Structure 1
Amino acid sequence: MTMRMLATTVAAMAIATSVAAQDSMELQFQSSDNSGTAAFEIQQEWAARVGEMSEGRITVEMLPVGSIVEYNETLDAVGAGILDGHITDSSYFTGKDAAFALIGNPVGAYSSPEELRAFFNEGGGTELYNEILEPYGVHFIGPAAQPAEAIPSTVPIDSVADLQGVKMRAPEGMVQSVFAAAGAAPVNLPQSEVFTSLDKGVIAAADATTLATNHSMGLHDVALHPIWPGFHSLPLNEVSINADTWESLSEEDQQMLTESVAWYAETLAERIGQRDEEVAEELRATEGVTIHTWSEEAKREFRQIAQEQWAPFAERSENAQRVYDALTAHLSAEGLL
């Protein structure tokens, strides 16, 4: 082989290696869920599925809450490229814009994950949310949600009246405002501190997550009066990615990721719902534990209080008003308001 042929061959190999490197992508996503929870396990399955659907070109490392940054710092981290993406409750970013409260957890709006996804997929929610996220350098791939959240409690709570003065964990944003309006004393704590805070009596109850996930975190070992089925909170579980990374993907890979998130959303709702039922059966047979199921009248009273908080949040920013207008229009059209 002549030197010229050798040089040509080496150059060709270098180009091929460069193309292969450009075609492969390793991504780090951080969750707002703890390692070992049912939700995080499904997120790990989603990461593996992305690898399979892309035939190994795109790999996702799924990290639990707090691995790189705190749970309420992932929006900035994704925009800055410290993380490539996150799967999280959007209402954690309410301090930046009240719109995150309304789009992330409009308390009392939805009764099922399917109703939430319908707002984003059919009611213009996805397009609107991407406009809100654009200044942060983040792209919203798609919505997911677990069934309505339960409330682990160390004291019996069977009505709005029973909430009076109860010190409870509630994430920042509308959830805190709603529980305060209902008479409780909400405090802001990361989910990773809920067990210890319940155990030590720092709080008496918590807006945490679903019955199954609460159980997987051991909350029912210390909170013997869970409220279930859930009725108050069904937050958006958003899957988002760095905007520049998204734009660097081919249309085929963008479509593949969108389809993978749709799979994640359906799997999350179905599997956590089934697990909720299984955990409820287990708790009913556990000595000392009492499941408290609110009456329809009590639920309506709480939801009325919740919906009265939407308009004040809408007044806090232009984006919040846009979310309020889109959400109420969609819910009205669907007969859900």
Structure 2
Amino acid sequence: MFKKLLKLSLAIGMFATFLQGASTFTLKLQSADPSGSINFKLQEKWAKTVATMTNSDIKIEILPVNSIVKYTETLDAIGAGVLDGEISSIAYFSGKDPAFALMGNTVGAWSDPNDLILFMEYGGGNEFMNKLMNPYGVTFVSAMTNGLESLVAKKPIRSVAELKGLKMRAPEGLVQAVFKAAGAAPVNLPYSEVFTSLDKGVIEAADASTLAVNAQAGLNKIAKYPIFPGFHSIPLMDLSINTKLWNKMPKNYQEIIKVSFRDYVRQIISTIKLSDKAEAARATATKDYTIITWPESEKIKFRRIAQGEWKKMSTESPNAKEAYDLITKFLKDNGMI
């Protein structure tokens, strides 16, 4: 009898080990952020949360930007199995379809990062992104954003009219097209050259990052009239995973990843908002630089100009047209245009 029980116990143990192994996943996700940045640290914290919630059945390694492939190549790398997933920016894939550009940074559309997240979760954005990414063997799991960017400037810019002739840095694509339509003279410069270009007077203003990040980079010391809160740019970012791998995961593990990542998104939005508010309060108290705040009427003017550029881009592909219709419907339904 003992031998029979022993054999049965060993068989059960081996079966349990098999089941545990079958439900264990190790994922390598490449981030769009460098190691050491606040975003990267929060992503690592999220990965630890997933491990805790799954009793280490899901282990996620966050890799810094460009560590395995170039930041513009992650979509193909995930589909090919070189990477298991990404936490990156949708606009990086604009060359594949203009819809990625329109969804990735709908310039002038959003005044608050939570509005973008609402659109993604309740306005059909998540579903549309899966339509775009599924053909590449990639599943769009969740949306995220880093927050509302602040325009840095060496002179006060208080209205759309004062953008006329302004020499400024704006990334190639929709951001550049919108500022050009608004009367500015945008040039394409890498972020690494923004400080030097402002300092030497090559440009007078720059689309860069959030108020606190710009301050940490020293941009507000030489461009002493930042516009805050920002009005032009909230980039859409994503958590996306190889579709075959995603489909192998039990539904409860998929839900843990989704829910925990949504919590991470709220953390990053709140962290950035608090950092920006603290920096604005510090700058006001010390008078290190002068914050310019646009009235809502000027934001609406800029958004109307931006809409014309969205519409132009919508003619470039069927997916871009669908993205345009989806975004504008949500904005109209919620009284934002």
TM above 0.5: yes
The residue number in structure 1 matching 2:63 is 63
169-178 vs 92-101, which moves further: 169-178
Decide whether the 8 Å contact of 1:38 with 1:213 is kept in 2. Answer: no
User: Structure 1 residues 170 and 60, CA, compared in 2 at 3 Å: closer, same or farther?
Assistant: farther
SS at structure 2 position matched to 1:238: strand
The residue number in structure 1 matching 2:266 is 266
Measured in 1, the distance between the counterparts of 2:288 and 2:198 equals: 16
Decide whether the 8 Å contact of 2:23 with 2:250 is kept in 1. Answer: no
Measured in 1, the distance between the counterparts of 2:197 and 2:102 equals: 27
Measured in 2, the distance between the counterparts of 1:53 and 1:214 equals: 35
The residue number in structure 2 matching 1:72 is 72
CA-CA distance at 1:313 after TM superposition: 0.9
Measured in 2, the distance between the counterparts of 1:62 and 1:199 equals: 35
CA-CA distance at 1:28 after TM superposition: 2.1
TM-score of the aligned structures, taking structure 1 as reference length: 0.87
The residue number in structure 2 matching 1:160 is 160
Measured in 2, the distance between the counterparts of 1:192 and 1:19 equals: 49
The residue number in structure 2 matching 1:94 is 94
User: Structure 1 residues 95 and 197, CA, compared in 2 at 3 Å: closer, same or farther?
Assistant: farther
* Aligned residue identity for 2:268: L
112-121 vs 288-297, which moves further: 288-297
Measured in 2, the distance between the counterparts of 1:216 and 1:62 equals: 24
CA-CA distance at 1:189 after TM superposition: 4.1
Decide whether the 8 Å contact of 2:221 with 2:288 is kept in 1. Answer: no
Q: How many residues align?
A: 332
Matches within 5 A, 1:179-258: 179-199=179-199, 201-258=201-258
The residue number in structure 1 matching 2:54 is 54
Decide whether the 8 Å contact of 2:42 with 2:264 is kept in 1. Answer: yes
User: Structure 1 residues 332 and 82, CA, compared in 2 at 3 Å: closer, same or farther?
Assistant: same
Measured in 1, the distance between the counterparts of 2:269 and 2:175 equals: 21
Matches within 5 A, 1:1-337: 19-199=19-199, 201-337=201-337
Decide whether the 8 Å contact of 1:197 with 1:203 is kept in 2. Answer: yes
Residues 8-31 of structure 1, C-alpha deviations (whole Å, 9 max, x = no match): 999998876665444322222222
Residues 274-312 of structure 1, C-alpha deviations (whole Å, 9 max, x = no match): 111001112223454222222333322212111111111
Measured in 1, the distance between the counterparts of 2:221 and 2:81 equals: 39
Measured in 1, the distance between the counterparts of 2:32 and 2:74 equals: 9
CA-CA distance at 1:151 after TM superposition: 1.4
The residue number in structure 2 matching 1:5 is none
SS at structure 1 position matched to 2:186: strand
CA RMSD of aligned residues (A): 2.8
46-55 vs 185-194, which moves further: 185-194
* Aligned residue identity for 2:135: P
User: Structure 1 residues 82 and 222, CA, compared in 2 at 3 Å: closer, same or farther?
Assistant: farther
SS at structure 1 position matched to 2:168: strand
* Aligned residue identity for 2:255: Q
SS at structure 2 position matched to 1:87: strand
Measured in 2, the distance between the counterparts of 1:27 and 1:198 equals: 41
The percent identity for this pair of structures is: 48
Measured in 2, the distance between the counterparts of 1:263 and 1:163 equals: 38
Decide whether the 8 Å contact of 2:147 with 2:235 is kept in 1. Answer: no
User: Structure 1 residues 102 and 151, CA, compared in 2 at 3 Å: closer, same or farther?
Assistant: same
Measured in 2, the distance between the counterparts of 1:242 and 1:301 equals: 41
* Aligned residue identity for 1:315: T
CA-CA distance at 1:314 after TM superposition: 0.7
Decide whether the 8 Å contact of 1:149 with 1:232 is kept in 2. Answer: yes
151-160 vs 223-232, which moves further: 151-160
Q: Which residues of structure 2 form unaligned runs of 5+?
A: 1-7
Measured in 2, the distance between the counterparts of 1:64 and 1:197 equals: 27
TM-score of the aligned structures, taking structure 2 as reference length: 0.87
Measured in 2, the distance between the counterparts of 1:189 and 1:14 equals: 59
User: Structure 1 residues 195 and 81, CA, compared in 2 at 3 Å: closer, same or farther?
Assistant: farther
Decide whether the 8 Å contact of 1:92 with 1:173 is kept in 2. Answer: no
User: Structure 1 residues 70 and 208, CA, compared in 2 at 3 Å: closer, same or farther?
Assistant: farther
CA-CA distance at 1:131 after TM superposition: 0.8
User: Structure 1 residues 47 and 316, CA, compared in 2 at 3 Å: closer, same or farther?
Assistant: same
SS at structure 1 position matched to 2:151: coil
The residue number in structure 1 matching 2:5 is none
Q: Which residues of structure 1 form unaligned runs of 5+?
A: 1-7
Decide whether the 8 Å contact of 2:130 with 2:140 is kept in 1. Answer: yes
Measured in 2, the distance between the counterparts of 1:75 and 1:286 equals: 45
Decide whether the 8 Å contact of 1:178 with 1:309 is kept in 2. Answer: yes
User: Structure 1 residues 74 and 221, CA, compared in 2 at 3 Å: closer, same or farther?
Assistant: farther
Decide whether the 8 Å contact of 2:144 with 2:237 is kept in 1. Answer: yes
